[in-house]
Every structure is written in C-alpha cells, then in structure tokens.
Amino acid sequence: MGSALSSLFWFAAVVALIPLVLWLVKRSPIGGGRIAGAGTMRHVAALPLSASQRIVTVEVGSGDSRCWLVLGVTPTSINTLHTMAPQSEVPPALPTPTTAFAQLLARMQGRGSDAR
C-alpha cells in the first residue's frame, strides 16, 4: 500500500510540474522568448521564380554591422546566394507575370490606357 501511495504522489508531482516547465521554456531563448538582437532583420525584396521557389533579400544587423543577404528559398531549404552592403535605395519591383498578363489582356480588349 505504501508503494502505491508513493507512486501516486510522484505521478501527481510530475503532472503538477509540467505547466511550470512549459512556462519556463516559453520564456527562455530556446523556447521562443526574446533573443538578444531580435527584431534586427528586415525584409527588403522578393522575386518569385516559380510556385515554390523565390529569391529573397533581407537586411540583418543594425548600425554599421548591417548587411543584406540574398537568399534562395525553396520548400526544403534556404541557401545564402550572396552577401552585400546595404543599398541606399531599393530598386522598383518588376511587374509580376500575372500583372503583365492582366495589362496585356486589358490592352487587347481595348480597355488599357494605351489601347489602339
């Protein structure tokens, strides 16, 4: 009887500790808590290559240690393609294929700004 009571006590103790451990992990850096330097990454540009592949430029760091990373993003991996100094101005985005198609269709239907 003493063994069963001891086992029940330890089971209850472990179950009671689970929320405490989860609370501690949530607030630690490994559990998604605030990491030193968090928030020093900024999305600069993205270029879709296909439905599942794109090239993304992000700015990391702050102050004089800033740099831009050009990343190749696929569903299974992210690869650094190039590292460069931050540019003063972001180039204008190229029209996406769907935007170009919509403009062409509108022009052919006579609704576009440069319809003939």
Distance CA 42, CA 107 (A): 37
Does 102 reside within a domain?
A: no
Distance CA 68, CA 59 (A): 4
CA atoms within 13 A on the CB side of 54: 11
Do 30 and 69 lie in one domain? The reply is no
Does 26 reside within a domain?
A: yes
pLDDT at 17: 94
Describe the strand order of the beta sheet including 54-60 as a list of residue ranges.
Answer: 41-48, 54-60, 67-73, 78-84
11: domain range?
1-35
Do 51 and 84 lie in one domain? The reply is yes
Tally of domains within the chain:
2
- pLDDT tens for the chain, 116 residues long, are 678 888 999 999 999 999 998 888 887 766 655 554 455 788 888 899 989 999 999 988 888 888 999 999 999 999 999 999 888 765 666 666 667 777 888 888 886 555 44
